[in-house]
Amino acid sequence: MTSADGSVVRFGVDDLPEQLQAFAQRYPDAVADRRGLTFVAGAARLRPPLLAPRPRVGQPVVSYLERLAVDARPGDAERHLVLLLRAGAAAVGYWEGDELLDHKALAAYVVRGNGKAQPTYLASRGKSRYGSRLRLQNWRRLLTDVSERLRRCEEQFGAPERIFLGMPVRLLAELWSADPAPPFAHDDARVQRLPLHVFRPDFAELQRVRAWMATGALELPD
């Protein structure tokens, strides 16, 4: 189904071929933007759901439509991992198509009284006292727990075909400094950062983000 929100029409991943065909007929010169997220033709834009195959940067919309013709239900049985991470909390979800195979929410005390995460505070202020060291240890343990969870998911269900990360940029390097490290490299072609703000990770937020990933948007000029 589609729903209108002002001049924006939102649609599910199953409706992508139909929406894309109509868009390509009207805007045959549209191409994917520099992030490979949205097809653009002037003020007209079509953003495929993130669960659909990712367009190549600069790919013509007609070429992408031909690519989709090979798969009547894009992403239908694809294994994908979603990791949400913020200071003190994380949520991991592993899907095969629309089936949630495994999920886990994790939390740790790592935020100071002023609301600043301990790793960020240390980077700007230097050494800390016992309470600060405890928060830092908790943060490192949380990263370890996340990494171990990712490894268990891969061992149990197989390697995901796509990996979506929702986290601030500053946490990316810290994620890969975990011991053990995640079972994929930071430059893995499967890895894609989520282009939306993530609130404190828990199961409800994981579900909200996953629902957004299954929705595309069409914006047409007046």
The full DSSP string for 61-127 is HHHHHHHHTT-SSTTTT-EEEEEEEETTEEEEEEEETTEEEEEEEEE---B-TTS-BHHHHHHHH--
Query: Is residue 1's pLDDT more than 70?
Result: no
Confidence band of 112 (pLDDT split at 50, 70, 90)? low
Query: Is residue 132's pLDDT more than 50?
Result: yes
Query: Is residue 85's pLDDT more than 60?
Result: yes
Task: Give the residue carrying structure tokens 């999920």.
Answer: 103
Average pLDDT, rounded, for the chain: 87
Complete DSSP assignment for 47-60: E--TTSPPPPTT-B
The stretch 212-218 carries a mean pLDDT of: 96
Domains within the chain, CATH numbers bracketed:
2-74 (no CATH), 79-210 (3.30.420.60)
> pTM of this prediction?
0.85
The stretch 171-194 carries a mean pLDDT of: 93
Higher pLDDT, 147 or 73: 147
